[in-house]
Structure 1
């Protein structure tokens, strides 16, 4: 329901009537209310989840933005920088930020008065048999109308301010999402590069195996010439060399495929991948956990920060919906000239002046506003649940990587002992075979065991590097909400927003 009161500046009685009507309208605002609509959902605090045993403090530092340098390969940081500069996924995230920024500008404009100007010229033939008698009827006339108008919505209950705050929170969430995209992309480049390093290491193993089997083949040829072996052993040795060469060729194909994958991560064509040099990653890098990981993780993981800003946006969304239950008051004024023809167009007698308030208040809306508010609370509870789940997943991510590294270190010790033993057994078998003290089959068995153990050690060594990169990513990959201006002012990362949402009563 709308009431529009217009009055002339000299009509004091009309002014009083308009003000009285506005006051009465405000008094009726209680007809539609949001009593009984609230939420008891809260964002979880990190201390609510026990993690001291799974994620123990080790006195380390949080990853820096240039964390890739610690792996000792100068090519890796360059590839990450190239990916972050040109990748379409980052451009998509930046576009979302720009769109959120436009919402902020739109919402901010609602806080200020609007001024418009208009001019119209109308040429009209008035009917001689209608409202206007001669000499107007039956004659053409031109009407000139110019008007400058201004309007201002008095945001008494904070609706527009809440909408602006919501837009700001959504932009912050979009910025955190972009940081998450950067962290994910950097880790993906590093892990794919490490996969390339693993394939090269396995290829080196395959090349050494070819050389070893060629040595065995030469020994076999000598034994055949001495009558100690037959062509069966000779053909077996030749077949083993061919098998090793097949394995090496297969690894060459896998290396080329991973190069193409890296090129795609860099946002370039496949030929870019062919220019990547052989990795020289240091496999002995060890990431040490900082102290108080669970509590500080909420400011170090961009996905948690983004989820927190979504909760903040939902809180302001509720405040806006509550303000809808209160009257909207708009002030409007206009000044201009209106006259037939041009002769008296800009004279004082042609002035036109308009002013007055417009009040819109909800009295009966069949429950539409209450339904809208319930929907906003549902969004809020969904965002709270998403934040809590993101926090749980983040802590589990760190704990899982720590556990995997611990397990792998134990496997490495056992695998290294197995490789040492298998290598010694192989060397002794070759010596005995060459001296005619053992058959070829013993050498082949020892060779298979040594090869399997060397491949296991190589896989474990590079898998540990992959887990170190995954741990860096789970610790935020160098992100810091404070340094990126994404910390939530005044509320803290561990404080629930439920009270703010439930007490979001418009200020009077």
Structure 2
């Protein structure tokens, strides 16, 4: 039989295997989002306002020092590096799985030489030395994917790869937000530390005066001890804030991935013009804007494809093994006429009894798919809650800052009046000390409220999918908060 007559059925079977394959995977249907159609406290936004996902982090964070920290973190953070390497791992795994859909051709060469004893009339028989040399091409066990088993495994690997890539994007968004929050926390501790230092120094001076007054009998021991309590309280606050600021700086260094050197000057919290008036949109927009939701859906698609592969295991599996080449008992005669060889070995495997293995594999794939559905729905619910919480806080934090500022101003005025009354002998030193204590608490609380307002804006930016772009991808206007 000529080689052409052999090639025809082989190519025909390969073509049939490629073109007539079907998939037994369930048709994918995206689960309904288990959340409300709108956010509880979402306000109507102007259509000219840019969506969070379209605002670059350089526009959202105008502080040059913070921009440098974020850029450094994107280059040096080890968690983000690991996420990027996970993408390479998933891509390689997909390429391995995809290769099973394509025939693998191998060049082969072999040689053997042996001595065989043939029994005969002579004692010990007759020895014969034989040689065999072969070269050629071989097709090793290529599966004709009639029922989509290989194709579904490849699709599952592809979806896992896409999920890993989306997970890296989600990690970047989280990293940008965490660096910004850590930086603002460090700034808040720095401002509180400076305030505590000034308060401690002023109370030390006041305590020295109180001690002098006590020594001359102008004040009582009770007044002296009250002053001493204020001094030590300020000292405790100062030392506590020193520790907290150092720890906040260490946390920021870990996120950035390198020492915090060669950075632009820092800005105070009141100078942070972070964008706050971000449109919330609809919960359905999160499905396209949040990489973690897209990653969860990719994993759901992968589990759906795995069901198809598990179902295909119940059906016959057809594989082809073939080869063509040249063989000779002399190495020099390998390519002479008449030495051509070929082989064609189709194989059909039909599952008959496997002690329930295939059924268990299908049940496992279906269970994992159900778990993936639950994870996908939970991811949407968590995203909805994050946005709703940030919106709820945004509604009141501006008023809280204004109210706290008025409290601070009132306490400052109270301290002036208490000091004036004390100097004129109208009020006791206890009134003055209480006014000092209340003013310090009000000043600290104003810093905390400013920090809370800024971190809330960052949380809303992150929860709406912002932080993936470095620069804005759409034009528009946005309001910046003090």
TM bucket normalised to smaller = 0.7 to 0.9
Deviates more, 1:347-356 or 1:369-378: 347-356
Q: Does 2:260 correspond to 1:272?
A: yes
CA deviations 1:235-272 (Å, max 9, x no partner) are 7546644542443243223222211111111123xx53
Separation in 1 of the partners of 2:44 and 2:213? 62
Asked if the contact 2:57/2:467 (under 8 Å) is kept, the reply is yes
Aligned to 1:58: 45
Separation in 1 of the partners of 2:462 and 2:193? 28
Separation in 1 of the partners of 2:356 and 2:255? 51
Q: Does 2:174 correspond to 1:184?
A: yes
Structure 1 residues 410 and 128: CA distance shift in structure 2, 3 A: same
1:411, distance to aligned residue in structure 2 (A): 3.4
1:193-204 equivalences under 5 Å are 193-204=183-194
Asked if the contact 1:72/1:280 (under 8 Å) is kept, the reply is no
- 315, 319, 322: which is aligned to 2:304? 315
Aligned to 1:459: 448
1:67-86 equivalences under 5 Å are 67=57, 69-86=59-76
Task: Indicate the SS of the match to 1:349.
Answer: coil
1:31-430 equivalences under 5 Å are 43-45=31-33, 49-59=36-46, 60-63=49-52, 64=54, 66-67=56-57, 69-129=59-119, 137-151=126-140, 152-210=142-200, 212-213=202-203, 216-217=206-207, 220=210, 228-229=218-219, 233=223, 237=227, 240-241=230-231, 243-268=233-258, 271-272=259-260, 278-281=266-269, 282=271, 285=274, 287-290=276-279, 292-342=281-331, 344-430=333-419
Asked if the contact 1:283/1:461 (under 8 Å) is kept, the reply is no
Task: Indicate the SS of the match to 1:113.
Answer: coil
Separation in 2 of the partners of 1:44 and 1:104? 29
CA deviations 1:419-448 (Å, max 9, x no partner) are 232221111011111223322111001111
Structure 1 residues 96 and 104: CA distance shift in structure 2, 3 A: same
Asked if the contact 1:210/1:245 (under 8 Å) is kept, the reply is yes
Task: Indicate the SS of the match to 2:127.
Answer: coil
Structure 1 residues 376 and 216: CA distance shift in structure 2, 3 A: same
Asked if the contact 1:259/1:276 (under 8 Å) is kept, the reply is no
CA deviations 1:120-170 (Å, max 9, x no partner) are 22221111329x999994132322233322354333333322222222111
Separation in 1 of the partners of 2:108 and 2:27? 48
Separation in 2 of the partners of 1:384 and 1:458? 43
Separation in 2 of the partners of 1:9 and 1:56? 79
Q: CA RMSD in A?
A: 3.8
Structure 2's unaligned 5+ residue stretches are: 17-23, 474-482
Separation in 1 of the partners of 2:221 and 2:357? 92
Task: Indicate the SS of the match to 2:146.
Answer: coil
- 444, 458, 478: which is aligned to 2:467? 478
Task: Indicate the SS of the match to 2:190.
Answer: helix
Asked if the contact 1:261/1:273 (under 8 Å) is kept, the reply is no
Asked if the contact 1:200/1:278 (under 8 Å) is kept, the reply is no
1:363, distance to aligned residue in structure 2 (A): 4.4
Asked if the contact 1:286/1:468 (under 8 Å) is kept, the reply is yes
Structure 1 residues 372 and 133: CA distance shift in structure 2, 3 A: farther
Structure 1 residues 136 and 49: CA distance shift in structure 2, 3 A: farther
1:180, distance to aligned residue in structure 2 (A): 1.2
Separation in 1 of the partners of 2:406 and 2:232? 29
Asked if the contact 1:302/1:479 (under 8 Å) is kept, the reply is no
Asked if the contact 1:300/1:478 (under 8 Å) is kept, the reply is no
Count of equivalent residues: 455
Aligned to 1:489: none
Asked if the contact 2:293/2:379 (under 8 Å) is kept, the reply is yes
Deviates more, 1:293-302 or 1:134-143: 134-143
CA deviations 1:40-79 (Å, max 9, x no partner) are 9962236x52434333443343224633543442101110
Aligned to 1:506: none
Asked if the contact 2:143/2:318 (under 8 Å) is kept, the reply is yes
Separation in 2 of the partners of 1:466 and 1:245? 28
TM-score, L = length of structure 1? 0.78
Structure 1 residues 96 and 211: CA distance shift in structure 2, 3 A: same
Separation in 1 of the partners of 2:363 and 2:123? 63
Aligned to 1:433: 422
